[in-house]
Chains A and B, each alone.
Chain A
Amino acid sequence: MSDQGEYRPLTYFQLMEVSLRELLVEKGIVTDAQVDAEVEDMRRRGPERGAKVVARAWTDGAFKKRLLENGTRACEELGLEVPALKLVVVENTPGVHNVIVCTLCSCYPRMLLGLPPDWYKSRNYRSRMVREPRAVLAEFGLRIPDGVKIRVHDSTADMRYFVLPMRPAGTEGWSEERLATLVGRDSMIGVAVPKGPSD
Chain B
Amino acid sequence: MSKAKYKVGERVRVMKAYPLGHVRTPYYIRGCVGEVERVCGAFPNPEELAQMRDGLPARPLYRVRFLQKDVWPDYRGSPGDVVEVEIFQHWLDPA
Q: Which residues of A contact B (CB under 8 A)?
A: 86, 88, 103-104, 130-135, 146-159
B14 CB to nearest A CB, Å: 11
In the complex, A146→B29 CA distance in Å?
Answer: 24
* Shortest beta-carbon distance from B41 to chain A in Å: 7
In the complex, per-residue mask of B53-95: 1 if CB is within 8 Å of any chain A CB, else 0: 0000000010100001001100011101111111110000000
Provide the bound-state CA to CA distance between A34 and B7, in Å: 44
B40: Cβ under 8 A from any A Cβ? yes
How far, in angstroms, from A98 to B21 measured CA to CA in the complex? 31
- Shortest beta-carbon distance from A83 to chain B in Å: 15
Q: Are B26 and A103 in contact (CB under 8 A)?
A: yes
The reply to whether B80 and A159 form a contact with Cβ atoms under 8 Å apart is: no
Interface residues on B, range: 20 to 34
Contact A149 B86 (CB under 8 A): no
Q: Which of A131, A146, A149 contacts B82 (CB 8 A)?
A: A149
Given pairs A153-B83, A154-B83, 14 additional interface contacts (CB within 8 A): A104-B26, A132-B76, A133-B81, A134-B76, A135-B76, A146-B78, A152-B83, A153-B84, A154-B86, A156-B25, A157-B43, A157-B86, A158-B61, A159-B63
Chain A residues lying within 8 Å of B40, measured Cβ to Cβ, are: 86, 157-159
Listed in ascending order, the chain B residues whose CB lies under 8 Å from chain A are 24-26, 28-29, 40-41, 43, 46, 61, 63, 68, 71-72, 76-78, 80-88
- Judge whether B78 and A130 touch: CB under 8 Å: no
Q: How far is the CA of A153 from the CA of B84 in the complex (A)?
A: 5
* Chain A residues touching B, majority SS: mixed
If the complex has contacts A146-B78, A149-B78, A150-B78, are A155 and B83 also in contact, measured as CB distance less than 8 A? no
- B24 in contact with A104 (CB, 8 Å): yes
The answer to whether B78 touches A147 (Cβ under 8 A) is yes
Q: What residues of chain B lie closer than 8 Å to A131, measured between beta carbons?
A: 28, 72
Given A86-B41, A132-B76 in contact, is the A156-B24 Cβ separation under 8 Å?
yes
Task: Pick the residue among A146, A151, A154, A158 that contacts B26 (CB under 8 A).
Answer: A154
